[in-house]
Amino acid sequence: MNELLRILMLEDNPAHAELAKHALTASGLKFDAQRVETRRDFEQELAAHTPDLVLSDYSLPAFDGIDALRIAQCLAPDIPFIFLTGTLGEDVAIETLKIGATDYVLKKHLARLGPSVRRALRETAERRERCAAEKKLQQSNEQLRALSAYLQHVREEERIRISRQVHDELGQALTGLKLDVASLISRLPKHSRGLRGRAHALSDCIDATIQTVRRISTELRPGILDNLGLAAAIEWQAQEFQQKTGIVCATTTTVADTLWNQRFTTTFFRIFQEILTNIIRHASASRVEVFLGVENERLVLRVTDNGRGISEAEVAGDKSIGLIGIRERAALLLGEVVFAGRPGLGTTVTVGIPLASAEPLPGRTP
């Protein structure tokens, strides 16, 4: 240890303090020791010049060692505190360690003091390093979460923009084309059957393309979500799912609120889509029940299928990126998701997000 250690000694007997210093010097420690006797001086020293270590007598004339320990824990919680005492019964010694003393050394065994101080300092340094590493890890987790939220947001914005452009610009251009073709057909001579047939085929093709454009635009971001709200969008998506897969999808929605903010409704809607995709891919279900309603100040989406049932290993699996994504989306709004499977009987996914996360849009009143 190269730096000069700053030791605060709480000791009413100057001779004992000298003996302790001697023992520390003999063990090769370089230090600067400050001795205090009274509670006031002890508090002042702790607060004004945070020491590296406290060495405290256990029985002091004015207050006892336990008080001193509590004061140190309060004013300088991270600093090692060693009792250096004449006598200390085993029970008391254990008690002091339990309430947070780092170690105790008997005055008749002063040779133990140096090693005890070294160990205490080493452990404190390790603990500080661990704390710093944990803090860094936590910070980087928070940054990742913020990044994930940002990416979700950007992706959703992009989808909205592309969906609108596809719908508005392509849709309008195609409608214009269709009108032009209709006017062309009306001017074609009645006897030009071949030409008229081709023009009609062109018109049908434009109709089909308009349908495709609508479908793409809706798949990117269903307008119903923004225009009619979450409950309507969930019902619509359930119907689409039923039509596409043949799996019966019964919905019960007990809310009709369209005032929740877009982030909140999008979160539920995208989670619902992910749950349905999983049902198609993994469940082998023939029936799905969907509930959307308010329970205990939370908006709850519960989707139950009657398929094979997700296993605990699948729920916990760190490769289950889809499930992690669902959890992350909900967590960003302080919500929670529970996946519960019963082998052979089905899976229930319950998503609950506090309504407090669904502040109405500015300018709109509930």
Ligand X SMILES: Nc1ncnc2c1ncn2[C@@H]1O[C@H](COP(=O)(O)OP(=O)(O)OP(=O)(O)O)[C@@H](O)[C@H]1O
Alpha helices in the chain (DSSP H): 14-26, 39-48, 65-75, 90-98, 113-165, 171-187, 193-220, 223-227, 230-245, 262-278, 312-316, 321-331
Burial of 146 by CB count in 10 Å (0-12 exposed, 13-18 middle, 19+ buried)?
exposed
340 is an interface residue for ligand X by CB under 6 A: no
272 is an interface residue for ligand X by CB under 6 A: no
CA distance 41 to 290: 68
Q: What's the first-to-final CA gap in the chain, in angstroms?
A: 66
Q: What values do phi and psi take at 288, rounded to 5?
A: -130, 135
Stretch that binds Mg ion, among 24-32, 77-85, 195-203, 321-329 (CB under 5 A): 321-329
Closest residue to ligand X using C-beta atoms: 322
How many angstroms separate the Cα of 143 from the Cα of each of 95, 149, 223, 366? Answer: 42, 10, 32, 34
How many angstroms separate the Cα of 67 from the Cα of each of 38, 39, 60, 95? Answer: 12, 9, 10, 13
Stretch that binds ligand X, among 28-36, 125-133, 236-244, 306-314 (CB under 6 A): 306-314
Of 114, 223, 293, 322, the residue at the interface with Mg ion (CB under 5 A) is 322
Smallest gap from residue 317 Cβ to ligand X (A): 6
**Residue 352: beta bridge partners?**
300, 336
Of 53, 247, 323, 333, the residue at the interface with ligand X (CB under 6 A) is 323
Smallest gap from residue 146 Cβ to ligand X (A): 22
223 is an interface residue for Mg ion by CB under 5 A: no
Of 84, 88, 300, 310, the residue at the interface with ligand X (CB under 6 A) is 310
Nearer to Mg ion, 101 or 326 (CB): 326
CA distance 163 to 287: 31
Stretch that binds Mg ion, among 82-90, 96-104, 217-225, 277-285 (CB under 5 A): 277-285
308 is an interface residue for ligand X by CB under 6 A: yes
Stretch that binds ligand X, among 17-25, 184-192, 208-216, 301-309 (CB under 6 A): 301-309
Smallest gap from residue 267 Cβ to Mg ion (A): 16
The DSSP symbol for 58 reads: S
225 is an interface residue for ligand X by CB under 6 A: no
Residues near ligand X, by CB under 6 A: 278-279, 281-283, 305, 307-308, 310, 314, 320-323, 347
